[in-house]
Amino acid sequence: MSTATAPAAAHPRDGRPPPAWAVRTAHLIPLAVLPSGLWRIALVAGVPLGAYEHGVPARTHGWESVYVVSLTVVSEALALLALGLVRPWGEVFPRWLPLLGGRRVPPSFAITAATAGAVGVTLVWAYATRGMLVRDLTVEGDGLGFSPAGFALLVACYAPLLLWGPLLLAVTLAYHRRRCRD
């Protein structure tokens, strides 16, 4: 006699394949977040990125380095969660979660969380970009202590973050259509 519990009854809308464009878009999200993370890791490692403090290349130290690496890991992990909107593992809570393990993820929960995340990262990176541009236009030079090449590298690494929110919103809409509509 088996003591294994039977899986929860599948909902008729579960397991539908997502559109190919949504799968590609979900895979683009972690790739859009990656350049900024690599830039931060390089800063922690002491790679000269064109940022200067008092004529010396900028570098993080101590707890600041821990924070920067943690920010990178958390950002990339959150970006990878977008794959749950297009993969079967995103339709069921992991078994190791107390009380919820193995149960169906309510689409409203996933949609609300993903939409809030998309709006949040859009606002954060739009505000950061606006602040950087305003500072660049109102302060002599870039106002951050970067060489022109270093500033160009910073922009090239952080500009893709502006795509994170809109891409996540598009994948969330595809998830909503797939899981909530007949």
C-alpha R_g of the chain: 21
Q: What is the pLDDT of residue 29?
A: 97
pLDDT > 90 fraction of the chain, expressed in percent and rounded: 46
| Amino acid in position 123 | L
Average of per-residue pLDDT across 111-139? 85
User: Are 7 and 167 in contact, with CB atoms under 8 Å apart?
Assistant: no
Q: What is the pLDDT of residue 120?
A: 96
Average of per-residue pLDDT across 119-146? 76
Alpha helices, H only, the chain: 20-45, 62-80, 107-138, 148-158, 161-180
**Cβ neighbour number for residue 146 with a 10 Å cutoff:** 20
- pLDDT greater than 60 at residue 2: no
pLDDT > 70 fraction of the chain, expressed in percent and rounded: 80
Give the C-alpha distances (Å, rounded to integers) separating 91 from 11, 45, 47, 85, 101. 10, 38, 41, 8, 12
- Whole-number Å distance between alpha carbons of 111 and 5: 28
14 or 67, greater pLDDT: 67
Average pLDDT of the residues of the chain: 83
Where is average pLDDT lowest: 5-14, 18-27, 94-103? 5-14
Question: Tell me: the pLDDT tens digits for 33-92?
Answer: 999 999 999 988 888 777 665 555 666 778 888 999 999 999 999 999 999 999 988 888
Average of per-residue pLDDT across 110-130? 93
Q: Whole-model pTM?
A: 0.82
